Amino acid sequence: MPETARAKITALGAYVPPRVLTNQDLEKIVETTDQWILERTGIRERHVADKGIAASDLAVEAVKNLVKSHPMDLQEIDLIVVGTVTPDMMYPSTACLVQHKLGIHHTWGFDVSAGCSGFLYALNVGTEFIESGRYRKVLVIGSDVNTSMVNYEDRAVCIIFGDGAGAVLLEPANEGDDNVIVDHVAQVEGAGGAFLYMPGGGSLNPASPETVAKKMHYIHQDGQQVFKYAVKKMAEMTERVLERNQLTGADVDCFIAHQANKRIITATADRLKMPMEKVIINIDRYGNTTAGTIPLAMQSAVEEGKLKPGDTVLLAAVGAGFTSGATLLRWGF
């Protein structure tokens, strides 16, 4: 058996499609206002993929951006893990499509379906593979085109979502290097499935004229239920991972949460007594990009000088499922 190792993030790339949909644009589509959206969610605008652009396309662009900032031979990639709930199609997996589009040979991969926790869960999986000692270069991607599932007549849903993707490279840390993925906690509670789901197109309700007529191919969300659960659970998961590592919010240099609603993020930061300058918020520019939010927020944090080598970073997400999780790491580059 190979020796076990700690995993470390060694590179980052992110991507959003160029087309921007502002709150003012949405005012022309549904009965809403820029003020309502901004006050209730913190969103000003979001990027939307054009027809024909799918999750694998955004993922590929995010990986290309990763390579631009961290030149490497993609042929060395051992494993590709993609967090997504908007795969290009039911199968093959998005990971297979990404592998093919990037021309990476001698690798394997699969998708992780965890709603808005998709990137965090994919990161957990990638970390375990590195820690097994068998794998040395793992691409962890979060990519979603949730606007393709949005009913632009449902004003409580269509204002939230944007499209985007991000990718990190995981590698084994060198001996003595403590800028590693330190710990993670995660939990699913399937009873919450009824509050955020897409009922059509799966094996229960295969696509048919009837499922389309009943709008079953769109996102169905009870926003208030999701909101209440997210506030409670994000606090619980972040406190759990901090406590078991004998840390408090005061020890965290950078808090990067899933960007679903600014009020969920600030409620968690308040509970952890974290000043807002340590909290990364870019939901105003991107909206909720599902599995894309955390790597996109990492990218914003790096660009804004809020994420530096050695920083203690807390990641957190809550999503459809319900899924939730929190990850503690020290930034390495």
Which residues are known catalytic residues? Answer: 116, 258, 288
Decide whether 132 or 224 has the Cβ nearer to ligand UT7: 224
CB 278 within 8 A of CB 251: no
Which one of 109, 192, 249, 319 is in contact with ligand UT7 (CB under 6 A)? 319
327 binds ligand UT7 (CB under 6 A): no
In the complex, minimum distance from the CB of residue 305 to ligand UT7, in angstroms, rounded to a whole number: 27
Distance, in Å, from the CA atom of 81 to the CA atom of 205, rounded to the nearest integer, reads 27
Distance, in Å, from the CA atom of 285 to the CA atom of 301, rounded to the nearest integer, reads 14
Cβ burial of 51 (10 Å; 0-12, 13-18, 19+) is: exposed
Query: Which residue in 136, 165, 159, 181 sits closest to 53, CA to CA?
Result: 165
- Helix (H) / strand (E) containing 40: helix 34-41
Which one of 9, 11, 13, 41 is in contact with ligand UT7 (CB under 6 A)? 41
Distance, in Å, from the CA atom of 127 to the CA atom of 139, rounded to the nearest integer, reads 10
| Sites for ligand UT7 among residues 296-315 (CB under 6 A) | none
Query: Which stretch in 7-15, 85-93, 205-213, 218-226 sits in contact with ligand UT7 by CB under 6 A?
Result: 218-226
Phi, psi angles (nearest 5°) of residue 78: -90, -30
- Those residues whose C-beta lies under 8 Å from the C-beta of residue 232, and which sit 6 or more positions away, are none
User: x/- binding map, residues 244-273, to ligand UT7, per CB under 6 A?
Assistant: ----------------xx------------
Query: Which stretch in 35-43, 63-71, 207-215, 273-281 sits in contact with ligand UT7 by CB under 6 A?
Result: 35-43
- Retrieve residue 330's tokens: 């020290």
Which one of 35, 69, 208, 224 is in contact with ligand UT7 (CB under 6 A)? 224
Distance, in Å, from the CA atom of 75 to the CA atom of 228, rounded to the nearest integer, reads 44
The dihedral through the CA atoms of 141, 127, 110, 265 has a sign that is: negative
Query: Which stretch in 8-16, 156-164, 199-207, 245-253 sits in contact with ligand UT7 by CB under 6 A?
Result: 156-164
| Sites for ligand UT7 among residues 86-105 (CB under 6 A) | none
Decide whether 17 or 162 has the Cβ nearer to ligand UT7: 162
- Helix (H) / strand (E) containing 56: helix 55-69
Query: Which stretch in 47-55, 172-180, 223-231, 301-309 sits in contact with ligand UT7 by CB under 6 A?
Result: 223-231
Binding footprint of ligand UT7 on the chain (CB under 6 A): 32, 36-37, 40-41, 116, 155-156, 159-160, 196, 223-224, 226-227, 230, 260-261, 288, 319
